[in-house]
Amino acid sequence: MLKMNITEIMGVLPHRYPFLLVDRLEEMEEGKRVFGYKNVTINEPFFQGHFPDHPIMPGVLIIEAMAQVGGAYTAVVDKVDENKVTYFVGIDKCRFRKPVLPGDVLRMELEIMSKRRGIYQFEAKAYVGETLVAQAELKATFADK
């Protein structure tokens, strides 16, 4: 099983602060699954406007964080060269269950559903502790930069 720290993740994803939304990857099993983690702090720039008196991580950024976990996984498994970038190409069955707050550790679990014609499909779930906070089916592929 592979693991990746933030430096290794930045080696395969083009995202940078303030849009890099995954801190580490664990339990990367080729063809099966990957777990990603995001430490959510009050210092996140989106909390300034979402919402100043009641900070909640935007749901679309939870989905983006899960997509980044999938993108890093696909880049490592397919050994993508530096002339390619992972693109998020689809989302289905998205649901938000509970808010994500400053101080939470977002654990993202992606199960690989399929890989056909260069498109990966994941069943993605995000948890805080044991509580499911969001879920979706995500699709990703590679494209030239």
> Contact 96/134 with Cβ under 8 angstroms?
yes
Can you give the pLDDT of all 145 residues of the chain as single tens digits? Answer: 689 999 999 999 999 999 999 999 999 888 899 999 999 999 999 999 999 999 999 999 999 999 999 999 988 888 888 888 888 899 999 999 999 999 999 999 999 999 999 899 999 999 999 999 999 999 998 888 8
User: What is the pTM assigned to this prediction?
Assistant: 0.95
> Which are the catalytic amino acids?
50
User: Which structural domains are found in the chain, ordered by start?
Assistant: 2-144 (3.10.129.10)
Burial tier of 48 (Cβ tally within 10 Å: 0-12, 13-18, 19+): exposed
Which residues lie below 8 Å from residue 120, measured CB to CB, with a gap of 6+?
Answer: 70, 74, 112, 114, 139, 140, 141
